[in-house]
Amino acid sequence: MDNDVLLQDSFNLLSFISVVFVSLSALTGAYCVLFSFAVWSTYRQAGKAYTQLRVVTIVLFVVIFLHYIARAVDFHQHRSLLNSNNVLNPWSTPVNFISSSTSTLAGLISDGLLAWRFYVIFNRARWTLYVPWLAILCNAMLGFAADCLIFGASRGPQYAERFEKLQLQLDAVWGWAMLVINSVLTGLIIWRITHSSRLSRGQPYATVIEAIIESALVTWFGLLVYGISTVAPTGHITTHLDVGFVMVCILPIFFGISQCLITTRLALAGQSSTVRQPIVSGYSSRLRTRNSSLAVREIAVEMHSAVEARTREGSLVDQKSATDICDNV
């Protein structure tokens, strides 16, 4: 009887892990396609910022690929219920650490790019650099601290329950904090672009705003479902049979897809679209008189659609094309 129950539990576990791994593989395949488009689109543009963005995109891809490999090895190790309960497996600790730490690192890279856009769009004010990065680094340290608790839990059964519970609590705080940081920074970026465009009597820069919203929605969806799963009655990632485990496996891929979407969209839009009015990213640039000079705002989208304004004096200047605006994405 016991053997039949154990066999049935093992079969249920294998079925669940197979479904999770297929979902993870499908999302990874979609991410690889988007990654190829993102790299290709940046190669079509010249500029140092495009090169830097391409490097960051490749680094994020390597991190997510390591996460996928670690999860694949973990699924292979947990093909039976007995192996999944063996916390002292010599390979389980490093594999679990790589899986968890790559999730934290991918989130750090994604938030770092968002913070850089925020910094440049707000005219490189010092507070816009230190405040977001302080929050992001503190949250990343919280995530890495939770990852390191894996080694404490592997010391023995007497440590496992205590450290695993603390790790799950820290992971939940990390996920919710990242959701708040992304929401605040993205909201302020969209407000700044829209408000500055209206001040200059121009139309809102729809391409940038739509790209930012699309990118943010992908990240928000992953973080929100992950956050909800951490507080669900059957969640907390305590077993392989809940939503929390599924989301912790696929969460980094949402960061990668978000990055590739905004990179590809802006890079391609820079070649095919035109802008009716340049975006003004400050309060000093206004129309004074018909015979006075018009302040020209040169938008350099650095690293990730970052918008920077430089004021010049002179006569009325022809409007820039979207290629100029999307340069150095």
Q: How far apart are CA 327 and CA 324, in angstroms?
A: 5
Hey, which of 1-10, 64-73, 86-95 has the most confident mean pLDDT? 64-73
Strand-pairing partners, residue 274, are: 321
45 vs 286, residue with greater confidence = 45
Q: How far apart are CA 187 and CA 262, in angstroms?
A: 16
pLDDT above 90 covers what percent of the chain? 22
Spatial contact of 323 and 271, defined as CB atoms under 8 Å apart: yes
Kindly give the residue spans of alpha helices, DSSP state H, lying in 200-327: 206-231, 243-272, 322-325
The whole-number pLDDT of residue 328 equals 37
Structure confidence at residue 203 as a pLDDT band (50, 70, 90): low
Structure confidence at residue 301 as a pLDDT band (50, 70, 90): very low
Distances (CA, A) of 90 to 87, 133, 164: 9, 37, 17
Structure confidence at residue 302 as a pLDDT band (50, 70, 90): very low
Region of 148 (left: φ > 0; alpha: ψ -120 to 50; beta: rest) is: alpha
Hey, which of 15-19, 64-68, 85-89, 187-191 has the most confident mean pLDDT? 64-68
Among 62-71, 130-139, 198-207, the range scoring the smallest mean pLDDT is 198-207
Q: How far apart are CA 270 and CA 46, in angstroms?
A: 12
Q: How far apart are CA 173 and CA 224, in angstroms?
A: 12
Average pLDDT, the chain: 72
pLDDT for 157 beyond 50? yes
Spatial contact of 226 and 244, defined as CB atoms under 8 Å apart: yes
**Phi, psi dihedrals of residue 274, rounded to the nearest 5°:** -125, 155
pLDDT above 70 covers what percent of the chain? 62
169 vs 144, residue with greater confidence = 144
Domains of the chain in start order, with CATH, are: 2-274 (1.20.1070)
Give kind and range of the element (H or E) at residue 146.
helix 126-153
SS3 state at 177: helix
Half-sphere exposure of 196 (CA within 13 A, CB side): 26
The whole-number pLDDT of residue 6 equals 61
The whole-number pLDDT of residue 78 equals 66
DSSP 231-247: HSTT-TT-SSSSHHHHH
The whole-number pLDDT of residue 54 equals 87
Q: How far apart are CA 218 and CA 220, in angstroms?
A: 6
